Chains A and B, each alone.
Chain A
Amino acid sequence: MENPSKLFKQRLQRIHTSVGISASLFMYICVFFGIFAIFLPYIQTWEKPSRHFESANIKDINYSKMIDPVISDPTFPTNNIIIELPGYFSDPALKVNHMFVEPVVFNPKTMERVDDEGVNSQLARFLNHMHYGRPFMSVGYFVFGLVAVAVMLLIIGGLIQVYYLKYNNNPKNHQGKFSKYHRKVFMWLFAPFVIVTLTGAYMNIGYSGSTLMTYISSKGEVSNTWQAVGPVLKPQRAFVQTNNEQASMLPISDLIKKAENINPNINFEKIKLINWKDSSAQVELTGYNPNFPFLNGVYNNPLIVLSAVDGSLIEYKKVLDGNWTSMFADTLYFLHLLFGVDIFVRTIIAIIMAICGVAIGFGVMFYLEKKAKKFDGKIPLYHWFGKLSLAVMIGVIPATGFIFLLQWLLPFDMQDRMFWQKGLFFIAWLSTLTWAFYRVCSFKAAKEFFILGAILFMITPLVHFYISGFSPIELFTNNMFIILNVDITLFIFGLLLLFIGLKIPKNRENFKLLFSKKKDK
């Protein structure tokens, strides 16, 4: 009988390999698009010509001039109108919104209505959807959610392996180095990665996966989890009866100032107008309090309700007034969605995630190198999983560069624009699979994908400058820093890809040398 300890270690390794290889490509997709999702608010502004204007201070805006004509339209709903203030999710526009109508968008500086691209421009949204499998609908949610669970198993299993097994930390060959990099990165970064995957699993399969639990705990009354938890997480305010008496409203900017006097720490994001122009009119101001990170942002938002007639305080809910369940849910969401987090923290987290993505890549390469060893010196490894990994992990780069370029190449008034943009992205991605199988040498194909991706990412800002009509100097002088920063980031990312593309050797032998250069010296 084999030594039980040896058997346990062997099984640990085998489970790690089989689960890791099954989940690696999905997890890489989550991480890759997650990096773009971290910068979602900025990409969202960059992608729309209608948002190419300078931001305004929310206290200096004449709201009535923009809102009044909209809400006096008889076809527009009269109640529960939501005004999204400039700066909400880095959007410089002011939006007059209602659940059942298309939003009306204004440039708060000029107070002119702008033609929102609506469904024709959803690049950032799509990249975010790719992050959690939404384009593949319910199946995508489940698969990506289960992959997140698998990753937690991999991390825990991996840490146990590091504890039990003796690894060589000074490997001589490239294969050993792949294993070392994969191991070391996750040993250092497992904590943020576990948090992100745990919260990701919660969001993807937490609600839908608890249908059975909801059904049992409600004694068969409801199976829809939101129906059961919604009223607890986000309690609705009581309905405000109209008095049917016309009344003049205080300017919204004055109401914002009053709310700021009540709590100057809240960054107000949305205003709900209730029974507007009636003597019972109220404004509900909600926002985010950065002094209580983790505890507010999604469900547990601080709230100030004022009378729109005289500005008197009707209700004031602080962050800590919320119930613990909504605070707990917000903590989970905060760890994943980074509410109220500035660009520097976002960049650090994006870098951490990028390193984790590369470490997943090293794990896959370690597995493939084991396969390639069998044919060493005879033929190059031509394995379906290697080609698929190449297309999924590296091929996604030029495909993403292409979707960014298409954002400014396709006319904004094109019919089914977003459908074509998404479709061409998938076609481009699929064509990298064809190319990966066409090229016998995967290193050559990887080099081509990197260089192609670099070209696409580098020309995107140039195309953006040309089509939008805004040069980098104009963007800078007009204080459109968000848009300019996205252009600069895309260009730098392109340069980085070009550097990697030029560095990658054309064959496996040179690739091995690349990782053993120092030793040779």
Chain B
Amino acid sequence: MKIKSILFFLLLSLNSSAHTLLMDIIDNEDNTITVVGAFSTGEKTVGALVKLESLVSGEVLYQQRLPQESELTINIPKEQYQVVLDGGPGHTVVKEGFAPLEGFTKKSSTEDSNKKLSQNQQGLLVNTSLITLFSIAFILLALTLYFSARNTKMLITQLKK
């Protein structure tokens, strides 16, 4: 049990130094939402840009920087939208927004709007470049093993003589 507790705290501490951007959206149930920004350390994200992007057209419906309180109350648009907290390059949090009480009048249709939309940017880069580099690395490792086996065999033969 003790070992488990120690391991738990070690795992906890692995991530405790992270400075991740967090966004909370609260539905006030009066056709408004409250967007709250914070870092995982508890610090406020004053000055971070909050955007409401239409999922129908991809256009920006609303944008405002977070004030001193690090939260904003915004009227819910009539069309389907997503809420973006833009914390600068590489730090963007995106969440789908709540619907108004009477529901959306325009709903998201196809991909043409998606091109304009912001994406979550806190993950790792996984693309063909990564696959290419990893493939080269595996080939090199395989060659290393091959040379190791070949030379060891040669030296053992030499030693036996």
Binding site for B on A (CB under 8 A): 75, 77-80, 98-102, 118-119, 138, 141-142, 207-212, 215, 222-227, 230, 239, 375, 378-380, 382, 384, 387, 416, 419-420, 423-424, 426-427, 430-431, 433-434, 437-438, 440
Contact = CB atoms under 8 A, between A and B. Distances in A.
B159 A100 contact: no
B2 to A, nearest CB: 13
Contact of B16 (A77, A211, A424): A211
Nearest to A387: B148
Contact of A427 (B48, B136, B143): B136
B129 A100 contact: no
Interface residues of B, number: 44
Contacts of A212: 9, 13
A274 B125 CA distance: 36
B151 A100 contact: no
Given A416-B129, A423-B129, A79 B46 contact: yes
Interface stretch (B22-30, B83-91, B108-116): B83-91
Contacts of B143: 434, 438
Contacts of A222: 42
Contacts of A80: 46-47
Given A378-B159, A379-B155, 18 more contacts: A75-B49, A75-B63, A98-B47, A100-B45, A119-B89, A208-B16, A209-B13, A379-B159, A382-B151, A423-B133, A426-B133, A427-B140, A430-B140, A433-B140, A434-B141, A437-B148, A438-B147, A438-B151
Contacts of B151: 382, 437-438, 440
Given A138-B15, A440-B151, A227 B9 contact: no
B14 interface: yes
Contacts of B105: none
A230 to B, nearest CB: 7
Interface string B118-153: 000000010101100100110011011001100110
Contacts of A215: 9
A408 to B, nearest CB: 20
A427 B47 contact: no
Contacts of B47: 77, 79-80, 98-100
A416 B130 CA distance: 10
Contact of B125 (A379, A387, A416): A416
Nearest to B134: A423
B13 A208 contact: yes
B41 interface: yes
A207 B18 CA distance: 11
Contacts of B41: 224, 226-227, 230
A448 to B, nearest CB: 15
A62 B45 CA distance: 31
A433 B144 contact: yes
A19 B150 CA distance: 31
A433 B14 CA distance: 30
A431 B89 contact: no
Contact of A211 (B13, B89, B127, B144): B13
Nearest to B18: A138
Contact of A420 (B65, B129, B158): B129
B95 to A, nearest CB: 18
Contacts of A118: 89
Interface string B67-94: 0100000000000000000111111000
B12 interface: yes
